[in-house]
Chain A
Amino acid sequence: MSWTNVRLIFLRELRDQLRDPRTLFTVAVLPLLLYPLLGISVFQVQQSLRERPCKVRVVGTAHLPPAPALVQDGQFAVPHPAWPLELEIVAETRPSQRDLTEAAQHDLELGLCDVVIVFPPDFAEQLAAFRRSQPSAAPAADAADADDAEPLGADQVPRPLILYNAARDASNVAMQRVERILETWRQTLVEENLRASQLPVTVVRPFEPQPTDVAQEQRRRAALWSKILPFVLMVWALTGAFYPAVDLCAGEKERGTLETLLSSPAARSEIVWGKLLTVMTFSIVTALFNLASMIATGTFILAQLKQIGAASLSLEVGLPPWSALVWLTLALLPIAALFSALALAIAAFARSSKEGQYYLMPLLMISLPLMMLPLLPAAQMDLGYALIPLSGLMLLLRTLIEGHYAEALRYVLPVSAVTAACCWLAIRWAIDQFHDETVLFRDSERFGLGLWLRHLVRDRQEMPTVAESLLCAVLLLIIRFFAGLMMPPPTSWPQFFTANLIVQIALIASPPALMAIVLTRRPLLSLGLTRPTLLRTLPAAALLAVLLHPALSTLAHLIQRLYPLSPAVQQQLAPLVEHVARQPLWQVLMLIALAPAVCEESAFRGFILSGLRRTGHRWGAIALSSAFFGLAHFMLQQSLGAAVVGLILGFLAIQTGSILPCMVYHFTHNALTVLMGRLPTDPGAWPLPLKLILQWDADQAAPLYGWPALLVATLAAGALLRWLKSLPCRQTSEEWLQQRLQREERRPAHELAA
């Protein structure tokens, strides 16, 4: 690939986009206008809420006790914040309280007043009676008084009515204010009552909690911004990528300039990289502009609101910490790369810009939940979240902004690996779209489900297509997930045995087998069930499994140490560990080693890998199939280990031209793990050869390979892998073509110039 061409294409596309007023509007003008406009409207709303007085009607002021006063000179006499309140006082509740209540309801609905307080006619008397009836008030009083005062219950206290209309915001605000005023008045009443009965005020307030926020102001601000900023960044990175991508792919198809470019010397990968860099630039610039505009406007408006003392604003406001901006900018690169590549691949598929615009929605629908997930209060950085694309990155970003660097460091590796893998896949997909003439020269065609199904069977090819193998992989994951939810947890060994065997045969082996029969012309070849090119590879596979077992089981131990299993999972796994150690060996081996070896291999190294190989990228196919293999294990700590084993198995399948060696490897690997799990917990009881290569790990209560054994075995495995690599292997025609094209691309520049 020539970076000179990439640069040329990038600069041209950039200039082309900059000459398009629509792009400039979305990237630069919109964010500069949007937030100030939003800010102004929020400001206006706050202003109008502040200035509009709450209309409060107090009915029955004549029945209020003379002291302490609630209302005086047409105002509340109780101390309260400087709220604009407009009081309407109705002294008497006669002719009837009911009529007044009805009138109040009517006025509330019309908005003539916001809240109505109705004091019953005997309010003051009731209060006095209540005060007298309290036993604590009695000791100093004479006997005659005590006689006519039956102690009143808490449910008999006088209850003034407060009418409001929850459907109206103004009424809600007025209600809150009136409640606070009445609360203060009640406190005063209580204090007077206590004073009257010569009791200290501390009787009703034995203690006073004092909330103290230990977070520094910096951290408080970080916590606020850490939730908003990553989300805003991602949404704008996606939007900023999408419109240029549509214009650069579907738009060019529409205008007929794509074929001009395709017939120029620029390679497809150079075209994609050039366009990708352009889209990325717009994605990054859009996100940064929006971020800057939002922070500036937000800080300004919030500071203004604080200054004028908007009541509801108890937030700590200010610029986000500088470190946050650094992390955001750093994270923006992979985010923009991922979204740009996705947008480009999708846009390449569209026939016209209009069709391209339709695809924005599905892309948003998939990305938004992933972006929203980390906003949930329960979401916390852990291995599970770290492995979810976008969500992991967002949580890592949040952890970094909040300043928990040690915590973030633990998850940098998985998050970067997942993000890098997603970026790579998306870019690969975009390049493949540009290689695919059925995508570039797609005509509109009448579509019908029947037509399509007939086409699938009628035009089926010898081997599965890439789409069919991807479908198979996704189906396997979905079926297993729902089956896992629906199956009751087994209680005994026979139940456990049957359930797992059913899962292996019905849910893992059958779907790819059926798909191979219906969708391909050579089902056995599609499933990889052929004789290996060399029969020697069968014992070699067993030997390889033995030699690599120390390295792989050490890796599994490391993963468990770094990301320990939760107690709940450990409890779930306990019966399995118990069964493996106790039940008859042949049954355990059949269930844990033989069934997965046969079923999982025919699915992942069979149908799925042979379909993915038709992309022409052998290692890409191996990596993707092992990622699916890992995902199918459902338990994170196991998935990581399985994905690594998947890489070796995929390599084995391709080098030997059959999945039989993979089955041998898989069986041997699992059998060794089972046998290690059945070793006595006392290392003294081990036979001598085992004592030489194994040691007891007290931390995890499991046997572990010693360093010398690990080193020797891994070196020997390396030699064996080299031998396997030297074997003649069957290439698909796509791989052959890719290899030739890559060789051609690597041709030195001076040769091209000549």
Chain B
Amino acid sequence: MIDVRDLTKSYLDLRRGALVALAGVSFQAHPGEVYGILGPNGAGKTSILRILSTVLRPTSGQASVAGYDVLTQPAMVRRQIGFVSTSTAVYDRMTAWEMVEYFGRLHGLAPERLYPRMEHLFTRLQMREIRDVLGAKMSTGMRQKVSIARALVHDPPVLIFDEATSGLDVLVARALLKTIAELRDQGKCILFSTHILREAERVCDRLSILYRGQILAEGTLAELREQYQQQDLEELFFQLLSQRDGQSGSPAPQLPASRPRIAVR
């Protein structure tokens, strides 16, 4: 469902030249599983997810969602995904209902499909009481619910959650994790990035540990525990990160040779 191969991303910095955010990341995620990307701040999680949501373009490498290439078929990719991130906010001057309706219509849903779907979502996410509340008047938890409803309105096969629980209180965060588990059970392919180890332990079927733009380890929780002989995820995480820091003298990873600028048709 999600296929990422040798993905690299570098940003230009006036002072330091090209900064490598992703240095050749590869992984696959399948329908009916929650794939976790676990990493400290600045590991490159958001870069991967932004590339998958076609908001950023990769420097090199390939990524596809449901068989559509993120670089050349971005519109098709965006139809397959629901993207919830801390940086995808809710419109201040729109009510919850208007906002979800707007995105449903942008996805091309006909009214006879859209409105029953919205009624269903508003009931399921317990959003009936905020239906006519403007975004500006909502609490963080309410906004997150609206974002999730917005991402689910077109019933996409792939859902991407980027640090989706940050800023939420325990109750709302728990409810979100529960929703994610339900969505997985419906057969969705879910990409879940976090830096909170307990959350990863709770919902992820498989996960990769990302650090400085590279995947240090990948597998199910059980596989990781067995491979590294470490039961505690936090210890395992810390161990991997310190190993990586010990290995490389120079912290900044290098990009593979850049793709050619000129192609002959």
Partner-B contacts on A (CB < 8 A): 4-5, 8-9, 12, 15-16, 19-20, 255-257, 259-260, 262-267, 437-438, 440-441, 445-447, 451-452, 455, 458-459, 461-463, 728-733, 736-737, 740-741, 744-745, 749, 752-753
Partner-A contacts on B (CB < 8 A): 11-15, 17-18, 53-57, 71-76, 78-79, 81, 83, 85-94, 102-103, 105-108, 147, 150, 259-265
A732 nearest CB across to chain B (Å): 6
Q: Tell whether, in the assembled complex, residue B15 and residue A745 are in contact, meaning their CB atoms are under 8 Å apart.
A: no
The one of B12, B14, B147, B262 that contacts A730, using a Cβ cutoff of 8 Å:
B262
Q: Tell whether, in the assembled complex, residue A728 and residue B265 are in contact, meaning their CB atoms are under 8 Å apart.
A: yes
A436 nearest CB across to chain B (Å): 10
The one of B55, B74, B103, B265 that contacts A259, using a Cβ cutoff of 8 Å:
B55
Residues in A whose Cβ lies below 8 Å from that of B53: 262-263
The one of B93, B107, B262, B265 that contacts A265, using a Cβ cutoff of 8 Å:
B107
Q: Give me 23 A-to-B residue pairs in the complex whose CB atoms sit less than 8 angstroms apart, sorted by A's number.
A: A5-B106, A8-B106, A260-B89, A262-B54, A263-B53, A263-B81, A264-B78, A264-B103, A265-B78, A265-B107, A441-B56, A455-B14, A459-B18, A730-B263, A731-B265, A732-B261, A732-B262, A733-B261, A737-B71, A737-B72, A744-B72, A744-B76, A745-B75
Q: Tell whether, in the assembled complex, residue A741 and residue B261 are in contact, meaning their CB atoms are under 8 Å apart.
A: no
Q: Tell whether, in the assembled complex, residue B106 and residue A260 are in contact, meaning their CB atoms are under 8 Å apart.
A: no
Majority SS at the chain A contact face: helix
B147 nearest CB across to chain A (Å): 8
Most A CB within 10 A of own CB, among B14, B57, B92: B14
Known contacts A16-B91, A732-B261; is-contact A265 B75 (Cβ 8 Å): yes
Residues in B whose Cβ lies below 8 Å from that of A462: 261
A356 nearest CB across to chain B (Å): 17
Known contacts A8-B106, A452-B14, A737-B72; is-contact A263 B265 (Cβ 8 Å): no
Residue of B nearest to A262 (CB): B55
B67 nearest CB across to chain A (Å): 13
Known contacts A260-B150, A452-B14; is-contact A16 B108 (Cβ 8 Å): no
Residues in B whose Cβ lies below 8 Å from that of A16: 91, 93-94
Residues in B whose Cβ lies below 8 Å from that of A728: 264-265
Q: Tell whether, in the assembled complex, residue B89 and residue A257 are in contact, meaning their CB atoms are under 8 Å apart.
A: yes
A128 vs B90: C-alpha distance when bound (angstroms): 94
Residues in A whose Cβ lies below 8 Å from that of B262: 730-733
Residues in B whose Cβ lies below 8 Å from that of A753: 108
Residues in A whose Cβ lies below 8 Å from that of B105: 8
Residues in A whose Cβ lies below 8 Å from that of B11: 438
B257 nearest CB across to chain A (Å): 13
Q: Tell whether, in the assembled complex, residue A451 and residue B14 are in contact, meaning their CB atoms are under 8 Å apart.
A: yes
Known contacts A265-B78, A265-B106; is-contact A744 B73 (Cβ 8 Å): yes
Residues in B whose Cβ lies below 8 Å from that of A5: 106
A456 vs B265: C-alpha distance when bound (angstroms): 30
Q: Tell whether, in the assembled complex, residue A455 and residue B17 are in contact, meaning their CB atoms are under 8 Å apart.
A: yes
B238 nearest CB across to chain A (Å): 29
A740 vs B74: C-alpha distance when bound (angstroms): 10
Q: Tell whether, in the assembled complex, residue A266 and residue B259 are in contact, meaning their CB atoms are under 8 Å apart.
A: no
B179 nearest CB across to chain A (Å): 19
Q: Tell whether, in the assembled complex, residue B17 and residue A265 are in contact, meaning their CB atoms are under 8 Å apart.
A: no
B139 nearest CB across to chain A (Å): 16
Q: Tell whether, in the assembled complex, residue B263 and residue A752 are in contact, meaning their CB atoms are under 8 Å apart.
A: no
Residue of B nearest to A729 (CB): B265
A461 vs B262: C-alpha distance when bound (angstroms): 12
The one of A20, A265, A729 that contacts B108, using a Cβ cutoff of 8 Å:
A265
Q: Tell whether, in the assembled complex, residue A263 and residue B76 are in contact, meaning their CB atoms are under 8 Å apart.
A: no
Residues in A whose Cβ lies below 8 Å from that of B17: 455, 458-459
Q: Nearest 9 pairs between A and B by C-beta?
A: A256-B89, A260-B88, A740-B72, A263-B83, A263-B53, A19-B93, A265-B78, A264-B106, A262-B55
Residues in B whose Cβ lies below 8 Å from that of A267: 74-75
A406 nearest CB across to chain B (Å): 50
A177 nearest CB across to chain B (Å): 59
B73 nearest CB across to chain A (Å): 5
B43 nearest CB across to chain A (Å): 17
Residues in A whose Cβ lies below 8 Å from that of B87: 256, 259
Residue of B nearest to A254 (CB): B89
Residues in B whose Cβ lies below 8 Å from that of A255: 89, 91-92
A43 vs B66: C-alpha distance when bound (angstroms): 71
Residue of A nearest to B15 (CB): A451
Known contacts A16-B94, A744-B75; is-contact A733 B55 (Cβ 8 Å): no
Most B CB within 10 A of own CB, among A437, A440, A445, A729: A437
A264 vs B261: C-alpha distance when bound (angstroms): 29
Residues in A whose Cβ lies below 8 Å from that of B74: 267, 741, 744
Residues in B whose Cβ lies below 8 Å from that of A445: 13-15
A653 vs B18: C-alpha distance when bound (angstroms): 32
Residues in B whose Cβ lies below 8 Å from that of A257: 88-91
* Besides A20-B93, A744-B75, 6 other A-B contacts (C-beta < 8 A): A8-B105, A16-B91, A259-B89, A264-B107, A265-B107, A459-B18
Residue of B nearest to A12 (CB): B102
Known contacts A255-B89, A263-B88, A264-B78; is-contact A736 B102 (Cβ 8 Å): no
Q: Tell whether, in the assembled complex, residue B93 and residue A730 are in contact, meaning their CB atoms are under 8 Å apart.
A: no
B126 nearest CB across to chain A (Å): 22
Q: Tell whether, in the assembled complex, residue B15 and residue A736 are in contact, meaning their CB atoms are under 8 Å apart.
A: no
Residue of A nearest to B102 (CB): A12
B86 nearest CB across to chain A (Å): 8
A741 vs B55: C-alpha distance when bound (angstroms): 14
A353 nearest CB across to chain B (Å): 13
The one of A8, A437, A733, A744 that contacts B259, using a Cβ cutoff of 8 Å:
A733
B92 nearest CB across to chain A (Å): 6
A607 vs B150: C-alpha distance when bound (angstroms): 47
A31 vs B260: C-alpha distance when bound (angstroms): 56
Q: Tell whether, in the assembled complex, residue A741 and residue B108 are in contact, meaning their CB atoms are under 8 Å apart.
A: no
Residue of B nearest to A438 (CB): B12
A731 vs B265: C-alpha distance when bound (angstroms): 7
A263 vs B94: C-alpha distance when bound (angstroms): 18
Residues in B whose Cβ lies below 8 Å from that of A266: 106
A443 nearest CB across to chain B (Å): 9
Most A CB within 10 A of own CB, among B86, B107, B259, B261: B261
Residues in A whose Cβ lies below 8 Å from that of B76: 744, 752
A257 vs B91: C-alpha distance when bound (angstroms): 6
Most A CB within 10 A of own CB, among B74, B88, B106: B106
A4 vs B110: C-alpha distance when bound (angstroms): 12
Residues in A whose Cβ lies below 8 Å from that of B261: 461-463, 732-733
Residue of A nearest to B57 (CB): A437
A736 vs B72: C-alpha distance when bound (angstroms): 10
A730 vs B260: C-alpha distance when bound (angstroms): 12
A268 nearest CB across to chain B (Å): 9
A461 nearest CB across to chain B (Å): 8
Q: Tell whether, in the assembled complex, residue A446 and residue B264 are in contact, meaning their CB atoms are under 8 Å apart.
A: no
